[in-house]
Amino acid sequence: MKFQTIGNPNGPKVLLIHAMFMTYKSFLNLVEYLKEDYFIIMPTLDGHDVEESSTFFSIDDEVDKILTYLKGNNIDELDFILGTSLGAIIAFEVYHRNIVHIKKVFLDGGPFLKFGSLFQRIAMKKFWRICYLMRQNAQNGTERLDKLFAGLGKLMSNVCCYISKESVENLSRACYSFPLPKLDETAQKSVTFIYGTKEPARICIFRLKKYKYSNILKKAGYGHCGYLLNHPKEYAEMLKK
């Protein structure tokens, strides 16, 4: 796992964790509106770095590496943490471990679902098929990605050309077998779940109602992480507030 940092070294520290098949670069438009005020930390998850060979094993493994990095750099407080899609699951677990004090948590498009092994295998075959097609014909693969994740195909295409089958298997398991952690009232109040009204992941909102003190923000008309993709300046202002 590699980490990129950018922004004001004297500002509050924030952590951004990207979605599946992406890298830290998916946040660069957003970072333009944060870097004057914040010191921004962005990992590229294992299995996603096209410049080195690595394997995504599990949510816990990624969380361990993030927390080790923060500890090694004497970071014991974050002003906020933002995770998108798969990154939202990882961000939630970082928060739940309560090792680093995190003032606010934003979880965008998180697939907080728990399906059986059969569904996970079906998802794996679908994701790996897309990666295989991407290697054969980038345009065809990108079109298939856009059908699943509207507007994100081009951002995902490069990673899909390099990611290993083992990583895809483990990612499929990670995305669809997440047990919701227990949070007390105080911990819940720091959490905001964000979903577009047109994205498939919104179906897990019913599971999130157990966190009755948290905030669920629904962005009308947007697909998976679409609000962030299309309005990075507005999104940055939301995070700041």
Q: Which domains does the chain have, with CATH numbers?
A: 2-112+181-240 (3.40.50.1820)
Whole-angstrom Cα distance, residue 65 to residue 149?
27
Task: Please state whether the predicted TM-score (pTM) of the whole model is above 0.95.
Answer: no
pLDDT at site 126: 82
Whole-angstrom Cα distance, residue 173 to residue 58?
8
Integer angstrom CA distances of residue 83 from 41, 88, 162, 212:
12, 4, 23, 20
96-146 pLDDT, tens per residue? Answer: 999 999 999 999 999 998 777 777 788 788 888 888 877 776 666 666 667
**Which of 4-18, 41-55, 119-133, 221-235 is predicted least confidently?**
119-133
24-48 pLDDT, tens per residue? Answer: 999 999 999 999 999 999 999 999 9
What are φ and ψ of residue 173, in 5° steps? -65, -45
